[in-house]
């Protein structure tokens, strides 16, 4: 194997990502493999770092489209520099800040209100009389 390529099983074991997920990520263009003469997948070692980024991003709720756009800025086949990682992560900062703000709001309001979905009928008689927020559409209108 050139450049210490890894088999799909090795990548799955080392990354903690299921083989089916690796194939899915490849179909989505998030990772790339090479094929051997026997048509077996082989991955370069940098895929482990990419998979770590994907897993962390998913854990904090980043959509795969955003992950793909960020990863597209990173070089294939080599470890990104610190500056390249910083540029990639900066793309997510505003979105993560907004998620943190919304989670804080949810934490603070959860016991009394779910944004007029509605779980707090007594309170919402004042905040949402006659279910006037229903005219704005389905779901938690104060959260959208």
pLDDT at 90: 82
- Per-residue pLDDT for 91 more than 50? yes
Of 90, 98, 12, 91, the closest CA to residue 55 belongs to 12
Query: How confident is the model over 54-66, as pLDDT tens digits?
Result: 998 888 888 898 8
Question: What CATH number does domain 6-133 carry, 3.30.465.10, 1.10.1660.10, 3.40.640.10, 2.40.50.100?
Answer: 1.10.1660.10
Between residues 143 and 16, the one the model is more confident about? 16
Between residues 141 and 25, the one the model is more confident about? 25
Between residues 82 and 138, the one the model is more confident about? 82
Dist CA 74 CA 120 (whole Å): 47
pLDDT at 135: 76
- pLDDT over 90, % of the chain: 20
Confidence of residue 2 (pLDDT cuts 50, 70, 90): very low
What ranges do the domains of the chain cover?
A: 6-133
Residue 45's H or E segment, with its range, is none
Instruction: Take residue 54 and report the two structure tokens written for it.
Output: 């994907």
Instruction: Take residue 49 and report the two structure tokens written for it.
Output: 């770092």
Helix (H, G, I), strand (E, B) or coil at 126: helix
pLDDT at 111: 64
What lies within 8 Å, CB to CB, of 17 at 6+ separation is 11, 25, 51, 54, 55
pLDDT at 14: 95
Query: How confident is the model over 93-141, as pLDDT tens digits?
Result: 888 888 888 888 777 766 666 555 555 555 565 566 667 667 777 666 5
Instruction: Take residue 117 and report the two structure tokens written for it.
Output: 């979905």
């Amino acid at each position: 194997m050139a450049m210490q390529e890894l088999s799909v099983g090795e990548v799955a074991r080392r990354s903690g990502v299921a083989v089916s997920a690796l194939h899915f990520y490849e179909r989505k263009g998030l990772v790339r493999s090479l094929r051997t003469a026997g048509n077996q997948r082989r991955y370069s070692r940098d895929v482990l770092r990419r998979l770590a980024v994907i897993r962390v991003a998913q854990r904090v709720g980043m959509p795969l489209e955003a992950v793909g756009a960020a990863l597209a800025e990173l070089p294939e086949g080599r470890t990104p520099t610190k500056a390249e990682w910083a540029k990639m992560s900066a793309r997510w900062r505003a979105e993560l800040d907004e998620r943190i703000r919304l989670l804080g709001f949810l934490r603070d309001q959860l016991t009394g209100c779910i944004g007029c979905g509605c779980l707090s009928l007594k309170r919402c008689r004042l905040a949402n009389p006659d279910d006037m927020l229903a005219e704005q559409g389905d779901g938690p209108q104060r959260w959208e």
